[in-house]
């Protein structure tokens, strides 16, 4: 099997590693990758050495976590999938692999395009921003940071009943936000930003900000634009790779005086109606990751959600280093990136 391995910052090599598929354990599943997706912000941070990846060794380490493949074999105790099923997992970029049926995995409904489905778990995280931020239908939502994760939040917002404005640092990103369903788009550097947001919300203000951009200026914008007693859902890794701050991120005028709430988009969201039945503990969360991804896939099956509209670049897996280098160089035209593993 082929797998890209990062040996150090910007040292990515596609390697051959053995994979024995001849004798699967009872609970094992053999999956052959069709496509995988690049998560530009997270994967770029991994590639450039900005941080260690949770669950991975320092170096050498795998890359990626959005993988779509076809089940080619199953152990005799597997009941979750059948041979021939198309599944999305959070496995690394690789040509094929063996996983256990207890691992994160969701079946793709028939008729859903591969380039839509591969974003199921990423869009589930976009949806989680709304749940963690205690969103209610009818609220005004600003998405600060218009990468793949932010575009997912923009696409889902109107389906959830929100009125969504995108804030970006590039007109190219605002064009993509409009194509994904944003009701409005504005440059975060616009000197009239607050007035325009006031007009957009008919004076009611921004109830919820979803922050997907890492730089400290984006954090400051999020706190600055949210209305008094509003909420900010932070899915960004704020300050990663940034220079020391020149302002207090929790200054009185930005935080205490406004009475706002900051929500880390991590872990389960609060839910009033938990599943307390006989399901395993890790599935008692009604909106656990795989369940949330299945909901996202149902929206795709209904034709209401098309992540493939954000795909700007497609590469054969042998050209993966070129894609990572483009991300490292902050290529503004690069949003959705698909790697094709089919020879």
| Beta strand extents in 202-300 (DSSP E only) | 206-211, 226-234, 261-264
pLDDT, residue 274, reads: 65
- Asked if pLDDT for residue 303 goes beyond 50, the answer is yes
Residues 87 and 157: their CA atoms lie apart, in Å, by 25
Sheet holding 261-264, edge to edge: 184-187, 163-168, 140-144, 206-211, 226-234, 261-264
Asked whether the beta carbons of 340 and 35 are under 8 A apart, the reply is yes
User: What would the pLDDT profile of 18-43 be if each residue is shown by its tens digit?
Assistant: 999 999 999 999 999 999 999 887 88
- Asked if pLDDT for residue 307 goes beyond 50, the answer is yes
User: What would the pLDDT profile of 321-341 be if each residue is shown by its tens digit?
Assistant: 999 999 999 887 888 999 999
The crossing angle, in degrees rounded to 10, of helices 320-328 and 40-48 is: 90
Instruction: For each of the domains in the chain, give its residue range(s) and CATH number, in order of start.
Output: 2-118+305-340 (3.90.180.10), 134-264 (3.40.50.720)
pLDDT-based confidence at residue 51 (cuts at 50, 70, 90):
low
- The rounded mean pLDDT for the chain is 91
Residues 26 and 11: their CA atoms lie apart, in Å, by 37
Q: Using alpha carbons, select from 27, 178, 3 the residue that is nearest to residue 97.
A: 3
Half-sphere exposure of 31 (CA within 13 A, CB side): 30
The residue that leads in pLDDT, 270 or 177, is 177
pTM: 0.91
């Amino acid at each position: 099997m082929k797998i890209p391995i990062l040996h150090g910052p910007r040292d990515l090599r596609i390697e051959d590693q053995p994979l024995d598929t001849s004798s699967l354990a009872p609970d094992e599943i053999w999956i052959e990758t069709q496509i995988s997706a690049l998560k530009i912000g997270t994967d770029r941070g991994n590639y450039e050495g900005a941080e260690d990846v949770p669950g991975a060794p320092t170096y050498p380490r795998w890359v990626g976590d959005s993988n779509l493949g076809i089940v080619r074999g199953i152990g005799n105790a597997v009941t979750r999938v059948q041979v021939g099923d198309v599944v999305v997992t959070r496995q690394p970029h690789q040509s094929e692999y063996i996983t256990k049926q207890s691992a994160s995995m969701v079946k793709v409904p028939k008729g859903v395009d591969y380039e839509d489905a591969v974003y199921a778990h990423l869009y589930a995280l976009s949806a989680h921003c709304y749940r963690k931020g205690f969103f209610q239908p009818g609220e005004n939502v600003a998405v600060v940071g218009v990468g793949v994760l932010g575009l997912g939040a923009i696409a889902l917002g109107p389906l959830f009943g929100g009125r969504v404005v995108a804030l970006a640092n590039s007109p190219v990103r605002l064009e993509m936000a409009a194509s994904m369903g944003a009701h409005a788009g504005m440059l975060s550097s616009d000197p009239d930003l607050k007035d325009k947001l006031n007009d957009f919300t008919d004076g009611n203000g921004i109830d919820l900000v979803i922050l997907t951009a890492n730089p400290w200026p984006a954090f400051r914008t999020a706190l600055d634009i949210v209305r008094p007693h509003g909420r900010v859902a932070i899915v960004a890794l704020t300050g990663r790779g940034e220079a020391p701050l020149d302002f207090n991120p929790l200054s009185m005028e930005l935080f205490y005086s406004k009475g706002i709430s900051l929500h880390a988009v991590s872990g389960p969201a609060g839910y009033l109606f938990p599943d307390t039945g006989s399901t395993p503990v890790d599935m008692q969360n009604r909106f656990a990751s795989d369940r949330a991804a299945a909901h996202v896939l149902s929206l795709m099956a209904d034709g209401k959600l098309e992540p493939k509209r954000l795909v700007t670049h497609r590469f054969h897996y042998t050209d993966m280093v070129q894609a990572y280098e483009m991300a490292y160089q902050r290529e503004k035209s690069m949003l959705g990136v698909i790697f094709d593993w089919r020879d």
